[in-house]
Structure 1
Amino acid sequence: MNVRSYAEDVRRLLATHWWFTVIALPVAAFGVPLYLYASRAFGPRFAVQLTTWYALAGVVVVLAVAVAQTVWSRVLANDTDHLVE
């Protein structure tokens, strides 16, 4: 398995596809009201922790979608030579 090849494909996918912005904008837009509500309900310290975990989860989702699309595009292209080494 050529990890560098996959990493380059994922990097290129993140750099060229606009729909990652479509995923990221609602995540960012919901983060502000989440922080404000949690700050009032549970205190600022908890609000910062909650918002940080929420942002990290958003990053993980975007990266998981990028990796899944990279793998799927290789399967559709029948580029399976890297599986048999």
Structure 2
Amino acid sequence: MCVYKRDKAPCHRGLKDTPSPDQCVPACANIARTDQHAARLRLRAASLDQQAGHVPGPLGERLRDNAARLRDLADAHHRSRISAQDGTA
């Protein structure tokens, strides 16, 4: 999800005052992920790892790298998330 704030938006190119989803940057400060988003990132990573097992050489390595990147994003979400149980939501 994008919680668009123009001053933090790497997708903003000065042409308009709205987010550009086609220019989205995964590490953008405007991204807000839910636990469900993080779970989907992990599912996608598992799928990429499975595909990588059937693909030779550099393509398989690229799939594994993308899977690791998705897991890193999910891990970052879980480290920095705010929940009602934390008493901060």
One fold, TM greater than 0.5? no
Which band: TM-score by shorter chain? 0.3 to 0.5
Greater relative contact order (Cα < 8 A, sep 6+):
1
Asked which structure has the greater CA Rg, the reply is 1
